[in-house]
Amino acid sequence: MTLFILAAGMGSRYGGLKQIDRFTEHGEFIIDFSIYDAIKAGFDRIVFVIKKENYEIFKETVGQRIEDKIKVEYVFQGLDSLVPAEKIPADRVKPWGTTHALLCGKEVLNDGFAVINADDFYGRDAFFKAAEFIKNADENDTHYCMVGYMLGNTLTDNGSVARGECYADENGMLTKITERTKLFKEEGGAYYEENGETVHIPNSTVVSMNFWGFGPKVFEGLEEDFEAFLNDASREPLKSESLLPNTIGKMINAGKCDVKVLTTTAKWFGVTYADDKPDVIAKLHALIEAGEYPKTGLWN
């Protein structure tokens, strides 16, 4: 069972390659905690999708520390990965998005797998729930899962965040994800502006933090949607991205898959902004002191 980690993005708002910023006295990254929790949940392989130019630094930092604990592989996401040359604008720098990033792993993802962001702390409960679903799924079907978080467990005090607001039916099956690109924390929840009005969302709202469970059949829908994205003349050529929640939403609407929402009470945290770092350090320290993670370091 594979954990596919999206690590090709540079954190423009954060100001650096935050996936390998250190957060504990033993020099651990946020990504180390995800890998540690994934191993506990039964994952036996990690695949990183990274920029090719970051391969050496990833291998020398994250990779070499975990290679004796779990199988590690790398795939690369570049502007020319799976994209015809005539579709690449001359001045484009921004990656093509998370749908494209996952497509870059198609050749090595041949069984059930989970997908997460490299710079997010998800909590152990999320990995156990995803692992249970994936273990019991038929890798040849189109029944997938998404770990859903309570909005109040995902907010930062340091600026706006983007969250996918999730809607599910009475059976807990995902019906729609609406991307809220500028959510601001407030008492009891968050708010955003739409058409000149302020819209309030309570803390109990289920949101997507890009934690998915798939089988290899998912690539059929991903390829179709990404091709449509590249051929869309209305997209912004230098900045538009093909995002995984949007792609999966289209696949659900077309009847090509269904997605079970696995709700978790785990608290997400991450470093969207540089000012988030002290809070993340404090939260990880508290978890270590509480015995959730070893005081001697994750890999010692």
Predicted local confidence at residue 16, as pLDDT: 46
pLDDT (tens digit per residue) in 135-190: 998 878 899 999 999 999 999 888 888 888 999 999 999 999 888 889 999 999 99
The pTM score is 0.91
How far does Cα 260 stand from its chain's mean position?
Answer: 17
pLDDT-based confidence at 273, cuts 50/70/90?
confident
- Contacts of residues 73-76 at CB distance under 8 Å and 24 or more positions apart, as own/partner, are 73/45, 73/46, 73/47, 73/48, 73/108, 74/47, 74/48, 74/49, 74/50, 75/47, 75/48, 75/49, 75/50, 75/104, 75/105, 75/107, 75/108, 76/8, 76/49, 76/50, 76/51, 76/52, 76/104
pLDDT value at residue 138: 84
Average pLDDT value for residue range 203-216: 95
- How far apart, in whole angstroms, are the C-alpha atoms of residue 204 and residue 188? 9
Of residues 93 and 103, more confidence is placed in 103
Share the mean pLDDT of the chain: 90
Residues 18-35: pLDDT tens digits?
Answer: 456 788 988 898 999 999
In three-state secondary structure terms, 58 is helix
- pLDDT of residue 218 exceeding 90, the answer is yes
How buried is residue 219: exposed, middle or buried, by Cβ count under 10 Å (0-12/13-18/19+)?
Answer: middle
Residue 289 has pLDDT above 50, yes or no: yes
Pairing outcome for strands 189-194 and 174-186: antiparallel
Query: Can you give the pLDDT at residue 179?
Result: 84
| Pick from 14-23, 79-88, 252-261, 275-284: least confident | 14-23
Is residue 95 within 8 A of residue 215, CB to CB? The reply is: no
- Helix (H) or strand (E) segment spanning residue 134: helix 124-136
Mean pLDDT in residue range 27-50 = 94
CB-CB neighbours of 276 under 10 Å: 19
